[in-house]
Amino acid sequence: MEGWVREMEHLFDLEAKVLLWIQENIRNDVLSLFLIFITKLGDLGVIWIALTAVLVICKKTRKKGCVAGVSLALTALVTNLVLKRLVQRTRPYDAIDNLEILVPRLEDFSFPSGHTAVSFGVAVAIYMLFPKKYGYAALALAFLIGLSRLYVGVHYPTDVIGGALTGIVTAVLTVKAGQKWFGIERKQRIVR
C-alpha cells in the first residue's frame, strides 16, 4: 500500500509539473483565445449535441445519428453520475500552487474529463459509422477539446486520458450494439 501511495504522489507531482509547464511555456494571447473557444465548444456537450441533432434530423443519417446520440448520453452518464462521484478527484487549480485557470471555476470533480469523454464518445461513433474524412475531423476536434482542458488548467493529464478512454469504450460498445440492433453498416471508403 505504501508503494502505491508513493507512486500516486509521484504521478501527481509529474502532472502538476506538466500543467505548470504549459502555463509558463506554451500559453500566449493568440493560443489562449483559440483554445478557450475550443473548450467552450465542449461546454455541456453543445457542439456534439448539435451535431447529433443534425444527423438525426436528416433521414439519410438518422439511425447513425441516433447511435451517436446514445453514445453521447451514455458517456455523459457514466462520466458524471458514476466515475466522477466514485473517484472524487479535486480540480488541479485547487491543489496546485500558482496554477491559473483561464475559464470560470467548476463545481464538479475532475476525473475523468467530461468534455473529453463526451467528445470522444461522439467522435469515435462518427469515425466508426461514417466515411473516414468525417471521422478524422470529429476525432481532431475531440483531441483539441481534450488538450484545451489541460491548457485552460481545469484538468490533469490523466483526467483527459481517462475521459478519452471512457468515451472510446462507450462509443465502441454503443456502435456495436447499434450495428446489431439496427443493421447499420459503416460506409466503405472508396479505394482508388
Q: Does 131 reside within a domain?
A: yes
Q: Does 187 reside within a domain?
A: no
- What CATH number is associated with residue 170? 1.10.606.20
- What Å distances lie between residue 137 and 17, 111, 166, CA to CA? 31, 26, 20
Of 25-29, 112-116, 131-135, 178-182, which gets the smallest average pLDDT? 178-182
pLDDT for position 192: 36
Q: How many CA atoms lie within 13 A of 39 on its CB side?
A: 22
Q: What percent of the chain has pLDDT over 90?
A: 85
Residues 137, 24, 39, CA angle at the centre, nearest 5°? 30
Confidence of residue 5 (pLDDT cuts 50, 70, 90): low
pLDDT for position 190: 35
Q: What is the pLDDT of residues 42-97, one digit of tens each?
A: 998 999 999 999 999 999 999 999 999 999 999 999 999 999 999 999 999 999 99
Q: Does 188 reside within a domain?
A: no
Q: Does 97 reside within a domain?
A: yes
Helices and strands, number each (H, E), in the chain: 9, 0
- For residue 66, what is the DSSP state? H
Supply the range of the domain harboring residue 152: 2-182
Q: What is the pLDDT of residues 162-178, one digit of tens each?
A: 999 999 999 999 999 99
Confidence of residue 191 (pLDDT cuts 50, 70, 90): very low
Q: How many domains does the chain have?
A: 1
Question: What are the φ/ψ torsions at residue 89 (nearest 5 degrees)?
Answer: -80, 135
- What Å distances lie between residue 182 and 63, 64, 175, 185, CA to CA? 7, 9, 10, 9
Q: Does 190 reside within a domain?
A: no
Q: Does 107 reside within a domain?
A: yes
- pTM (2 d.p.): 0.91
Q: Does 80 reside within a domain?
A: yes
Q: Does 191 reside within a domain?
A: no
